[in-house]
Amino acid sequence: MARTTRITSWLIIVLLLFTLKTPLITSASSDNFLPFEDQELGRNSNAYLSIYKSFPIESKTDFIQEIAVYANAANEKWGIPASAIIGMAAIESGYGTTRIAVNANNIFGIKVWGNHPVNAWQLKGQPDEDYEKIPVLANYGVDRIVYDETKRRDNWYRMFSSYEEAVNYLAGTLLVNQRYNFAKKNYESNLKNGWSYEQASKQYVYEIAHAGYNHLGGEYYRNLVGKLMTEWDLYQYDQNSFKDIRGTWAQKEIEFLVEKGWISGYSDGTFKPNDEVTRAQAAKMISSFLGLTSTTEDIHFNDVPNDFWGVNSIVLVAQHQLMNGMSHLEFSPNTNLTRSQMAQIFYNAGFYHREMNPHMNSFKDVHKNHWAYTAIETMKQEGVMAGYTDGRFGVNEPITRAQMAAVIYRLYEQGWNQ
């Protein structure tokens, strides 16, 4: 008796393991049947739907959070908006519950055309889409037809080893090809022109659908995916949060300025918030923030060659008399910007409402004979810059990239870039 019980137990374990390891080939254990699975309850239209009639919100949340990880990485690498990737995945795969998602990890419905193509999975039981007439094996009524699937070529879907591979294929191959790549460029341009992430991402979805990604058109797809993106606030994943600023004191300010296109990070995905700002970097930030345009004045510095990355910004701030050279012939582009120099730049830009009180003496290291005394006291009076708790301003101390971002954000809030 004991031996029989042990054998039965082992058989149950083996069967359970086999069940867990075997992918779902049909929906026989689900709610939405296909005609070849159940001639009464099966429907051809169920082929595109979730295999379940209901799906818990917790499982949807888990799906969104998992895809968000892959979408963020894809956004950093290829520039495709993460919100669009996540929204499209949720819509196309029913939060990972369609037959295509379950059997092929294909969460975007990406097809492979042909007769038994390699690396593809066949979705059986779908309606005849009129690509070519398919022989009928059994007809149980409207939407209840069993087709001869060996004769069909339009129901094969690309197989992926994981959701991550599917996201990488979509963002790194399909959406950057000649047909759709224009939409990514427009997305980047729209953000720089002041569009919100929501506006830019919805427009991106419209443009790829209008270009052929979805046969029902751009307006339809934007409304469909856009509604879900808004419902889940997927735009939060579009914030270009560099990996070294998350949770830091200036994260909000840095992300806002990046969204506006006024500052940028490095190609390795970092912002380096604690690095000191060079004079060339400051020129770039200020000229971008103010949207400076070139004048007819011919300006040239011996230490800023024409192929220097920041030459245009340096010329702009010099033309508008916001930043001067360290001498008549040199700008010193790679020298760190000091706090007193930054105050002087903002003063030169006219970021103040009234002249300062000439009797002010706010900082123990800023005397009235200091070259930037008026600028420092004015910026302090305007609430643009402040000193340290020990009573110093730190006139010769460098400015970090995070500090520069925070001050520019403060200037924006006060309307100084208008």
Q: Is the pLDDT of residue 58 over 70?
A: yes
Distance CA 56, CA 347 (A): 58
Task: Determine the straight-line distance between the first and last CA of the chain, rounded to whole angstroms.
Answer: 88
Q: Is residue 405 part of a domain?
A: yes
192 and 88 within one domain: yes
Does residue 23 register a pLDDT over 60?
no
pLDDT in tens, 376-412: 999 999 999 999 999 999 999 999 999 999 999 999 9
201 pLDDT exceeds 70?
Answer: yes
Structural domain contains residue 82: yes
Which of 18-22, 244-248, 329-333 is the least confident region?
18-22
Q: How many domains does the chain have?
A: 2
pLDDT-derived band of residue 5, with 50, 70 and 90 as boundaries? Answer: very low
Contacts of 130 (CB under 8 A, 6+ apart): none
Asked, for residue 90, whether it belongs to a domain, the answer is: yes
Q: What integer is the mean pLDDT of 215-242?
A: 89
More confident site: 202 or 267: 202
Within-domain flag for 63: yes
Residue 28 has pLDDT above 80, yes or no: no
- Is the same domain home to 179 and 124? yes
Which one-letter amino acid corresponds to residue 50?
Answer: S
Same domain, 188 and 121: yes
The confidence score (pLDDT) of residue 27 equals 39
Query: Is residue 8 a part of any domain in this protein?
Result: no
pLDDT digits (tens, 9 = 90+) for 323-373: 988 888 899 999 999 999 999 999 999 999 888 877 888 999 999 999 999
pTM of the model: 0.56
Residue 160: which of 110, 222, 205 has the closest Cα? Answer: 110
Give a yes or no: residue 3 inside a domain. no
Asked whether residue 79 falls in the same domain as residue 185, the answer is yes
- Average pLDDT (71-85) is 92
The reported pLDDT for the residue numbered 30 is 59
Host H or E run for residue 403:
helix 401-413
What value does the mean pLDDT take over residues 226-239?
A: 90
pLDDT of residue 203: 97
Q: Are residues 136 and 205 in the same domain?
A: yes
Look at phi and psi of residue 101 and say left if phi exceeds 0, alpha if psi is from -120 to 50, else beta: alpha
Q: Are 292 and 317 in contact (CB under 8 A)?
A: yes
Nearest CA to 167 among 234, 69, 235? Answer: 69
Q: Verify that 224 and 260 share a domain, yes or no.
A: no
336 vs 76 pLDDT, higher one: 336
143 and 265 together in one domain = no
99 SS3 class: helix
Tell whether 4 is covered by a domain: no
376 exposure class (CB count in 10 Å sphere: 0-12, 13-18, 19+): buried
Count Cβ atoms below 10 Å from residue 141 Cβ, excluding itself.
10
The tens digit of pLDDT for each residue in 102-115 reads: 999 999 999 998 77
Residue whose C-alpha is closest to residue 275's, from 257, 248, 256: 248
- The share of the chain scoring above pLDDT 70, in percent, equals 90
Instruction: For helices 197-208 and 218-231, give the axis angle rounded to 10 degrees.
Output: 140
Of 214, 238, 262, the domain-final residue: 238
Average pLDDT over the chain, rounded to an integer: 87
| Percent of the chain with pLDDT strictly greater than 90 | 65
Same domain? For 230 and 256 the reply is: no
Domain ends where: 210, 238, 266? 238
| Range of the structural domain that residue 404 is part of | 251-413
Higher-pLDDT residue of 138, 260: 138
**Does 218 share its domain with 320?**
no
Domain assignment of residue 293, yes or no: yes
CB atoms under 10 Å from CB of 391, counted, come to 10
Instruction: Encode 204-233: b = buried (16+ Cβ within 10 Å), e = exposed.
Output: bbbbbbbeebbeeebeebbebbbebbeebe
pLDDT value of residue 267: 65
pLDDT band at 418 (very low <50, low <70, confident <90, very high): low
Are 230 and 255 contained in the same domain? no
pLDDT at 153: 80
Q: Are residues 176 and 280 in the same domain?
A: no
> Are both 186 and 274 inside the same structural domain?
no
Tell me which of 192, 215, 238 is where a domain ends: 238
Give the helix/strand (H/E) hosting 122: strand 120-122
- Grade residue 240 by pLDDT with cuts at 50, 70 and 90: low
Give the residue-averaged pLDDT of 85-95: 97
Give CA 14 to chain center in angstroms. 44
DSSP secondary structure string, 198-226? HHHHHHHHHHHIIIIISTT-HHHHHHHHH
Decide if pLDDT at 375 tops 50: yes
